[in-house]
Amino acid sequence: MACPKCGAKNRVDERARTAQAVCGKCGTPLPVSSADCDQPVIVTDATFQQFLSAAGSRPALIDCWAPWCGPCRMLTPTIEALARESAGRWVIGKLNVDENQRTASRFNISSIPAMLIFQHGQLIDQLVGLQPKQAIESRLAAASR
């Protein structure tokens, strides 16, 4: 992950991170939301609440997926495009349900891919199954109103 201040590249293990990551060169806090970078943020049981807090008043979409799931892999380019094109309107995260069963269980994820949309830290919408980009964007736009 590139530092927003000095541009230094930093290696950040999102799965093991429980505290705010900082740049190894200048000490600047590194982005914790996809609004601060152009890729979805890896969300874990440990970072779930931090991710929602960082979203603030913006809608936050969490893509619940697993590496063995074909439809989940097919959805990946769409999720990445939504993160790239968000322009700060929303934040995008990815939650591996196999590695983060506590959060998956909390939201009763029984089918994947599943996308959870949060506003102000509260679950407001859910999409299950492979969805076209326009459908996901319209749900995020509705949450922005």
Catalytic-role residue among 3, 23, 64, 72: 72
Active site residue 69: yes
Active site residue 6: no
Residues with Cβ within 8 Å of 27's Cβ and at least 6 positions away in sequence, in order, are: none
- DSSP conformation class of 43: E
What Cα–Cα distance (Å) separates residue 46 from each residue in 24, 49, 66, 86, 115? 22, 8, 18, 25, 19
| Phi, psi angle pair for 22, to nearest 5° | -125, 155
Residues with Cβ within 8 Å of 111's Cβ and at least 6 positions away in sequence, in order, are: 128, 129
What Cα–Cα distance (Å) separates residue 40 from each residue in 77, 91, 108? 11, 8, 22
Among all residues, which ones are annotated catalytic?
69, 72
